[in-house]
Amino acid sequence: MYEIDKIDRGIINLLMEDGRMAASEIARRIGEISERSVRYRIDRMVDEGVMKISAIPNPKALGYSVVADVWMEVDSGFIASVAQKISEFSCVTYVATSIGERDVSVQIIAHSNEEIYRIVTEDFGRIPGVRKTNTSIVPIILKDVYDWQVPESVCAQDVNPAG
């Protein structure tokens, strides 16, 4: 397990604010660290899989104004194959399997409620193994995975600013 400190956490949070922020600006805003150390830490965290730097498109700006959560009951021998098939749809933003009342959890984006209905009934409902779907329109998202910040509680206690 990779141990981060308060400086790594600061770097991550600043890059979440602006993924193109220069290492010199990050060093200036954090203080107590050089630009070179910032670059080194970014490279190390990317290499270790602690973070990924990438573009995050805004579906609403592209006309996908409707979000829906879909929970599926799936025949036990088909859970993995259904989840894999669902993940191939371009309208799908999230797919997970779970243990409990629902077997597969999906989030989809679309242009309209009618498009959501068509995707769920015609596309998902016809996949072998899908027994039942339960769909909820999501009118407001208050926090998404892209807004999650590393909690201070995961930071190592001893900090070496020289990095």
Asked if 135 and 116 count as a contact pair (C-beta separation under 8 A), the reply is: yes
Spatial CA neighbour of 121 closest among 135, 106, 110: 135
Burial state string for 23-51 with b = 16 or more CB within 10 A and e = fewer than 16 = beebbeebeebeeebbbebbeebeeeebb
Q: What is the domain partition of the chain in residue ranges?
A: 6-55, 59-137
Position 162 scores a pLDDT of 45
Q: Band of the pLDDT at 156, cuts 50, 70, 90?
A: low
- Asked whether residue 157 carries a pLDDT value surpassing 60, the answer given is no
- CATH, range 59-137: 3.30.70.920
Residue pair 4/41 in contact by the 8 Å Cβ criterion: no
pLDDT surpassing 80 at residue 158: no
Predicted local confidence at residue 36, as pLDDT:
97
Higher per-residue confidence, 77 vs 145 = 77
* Each residue's pLDDT tens digit, 75-122: 999 999 999 999 999 999 999 999 888 999 999 999 999 999 999 999
- 6-55 is classed in which CATH architecture? Orthogonal Bundle (1.10)
Q: At residue 160, does pLDDT exceed 50? A: no
DSSP state of 91: T
pLDDT band at 148 (very low <50, low <70, confident <90, very high): confident
SS3 88: coil
* Integer Cα distance of 41 and 162 in angstroms: 10
